[in-house]
Amino acid sequence: MSSILYGIHPVTDAIKSGRKIEKVILKQGFDGPQARALTALLKEYDIPYTWVPVQKLDQLAKGAHQGVVAYISQIDYVSFEEMVENALAHKAAPLFVLLDGVSDVRNLGAVARTAECAGFDGIIIPAKGGAPINADAVKASAGALLRVPVAKVSNLKIPIFYMLESGFQVVAATEKGADYIYDINLKKPTAIVMGSEGKGISSSVLDICDIQARIPMTGETGSLNVSVAAAIFMYEAVRQRN
């Protein structure tokens, strides 16, 4: 189970005190001055929140939740600027992986596990639309999410622009790519972007990646699981560098 906190005042106090909150779920129909104050606070701190039936909250919280349940982060995030600058200070050609809407915690954990094994310097995920880094994700990663730097951003385009300006190539993993991953020079500073399990990389993110590459596919199945595809991309970088 994830670590959760519930109740209007405990959740409000946790946010104001700087606790790392993954997301907040609110009871459908939750309204009034306290509700409006809390949702305003969530927007101010850029914390994702959703509305759910009260039965969902009753399942999660075994006490008086007052229509509010928060998921507490299992890790300490770093800023993506700090992540990139630290990597550049210690490596000529750092490697990063960005996940665009990967929503399954097991896939997130598997990608993180491979990233650590492959020597990647960090993982960047969106604040909204992706899997939460909870106890299940940490378990699926075999603890890698506790060891690899992770940054959470409001919009993936921001770190992509930052990396492009910092001399990185940004490689989108997409079946639409003109080149195979094996034809791309991954010895340079590189960020690899992986898309969601169902939709792939969003068009707005895909448009700003400077390289689009694909994995050769000869069978009738149209795509690979995202964690498998990520492993192929990441270990091609390892192969080239070794």
- Per-residue pLDDT reduced to its tens digit, 95-145: 999 999 999 999 999 999 999 999 999 999 998 888 888 878 889 999 999
Q: What is the mean pLDDT of residues 200-205?
A: 95
Tell me the pLDDT of the chain averaged across its residues. 92
- pTM of this prediction? 0.81
**CA distances from residue 95 to 32, 39, 79, 192 in whole angstroms, order as listed:** 47, 37, 16, 8
**CA distances from residue 209 to 144, 151, 235 in whole angstroms, order as listed:** 27, 19, 20
**For the chain, percent of residues with pLDDT exceeding 70:** 99
Question: Which residues face 172 on adjacent strands?
Answer: 193, 212
Q: What is the mean pLDDT of residues 229-235?
A: 98
Q: What is the mean pLDDT of residues 220-238?
A: 93
Query: To which residue do tokens 């850029």 refer?
Result: 46
130 neighbors 177 (Cβ within 8 angstroms): no
pLDDT at 69: 93
pLDDT at 1: 41
Core vs surface per residue 165-179: b (16+ CB within 10 A) or e: ebebbbbbbbeebee
Taking the C-alpha atoms of residue 237 and residue 242, their distance in angstroms, rounded to an integer, is 9
Q: Which of 53-57, 71-75, 178-182 shows the lowest mean pLDDT across its residues?
A: 71-75
Q: Which of 85, 139, 87 is nearest to 113 (CA)?
A: 139
Helices (H), the chain: 8-16, 33-44, 54-60, 80-90, 105-117, 135-140, 157-165, 203-206, 226-241
Domains of the chain, with CATH numbers?
A: 4-72 (3.30.1330.30), 80-241 (3.40.1280.10)
What H or E segment, with its residue span, contains residue 123?
strand 122-126
pLDDT above 80: residue 197: no
Per the model's pLDDT, the better-predicted residue between 3 and 186 turns out to be 186
Taking the C-alpha atoms of residue 214 and residue 183, their distance in angstroms, rounded to an integer, is 10
- Cβ within 8 Å of residue 126, ≥6 positions away: 99, 100, 101, 152, 153, 154, 155, 156
Residue 40 in tokens: 């305003």
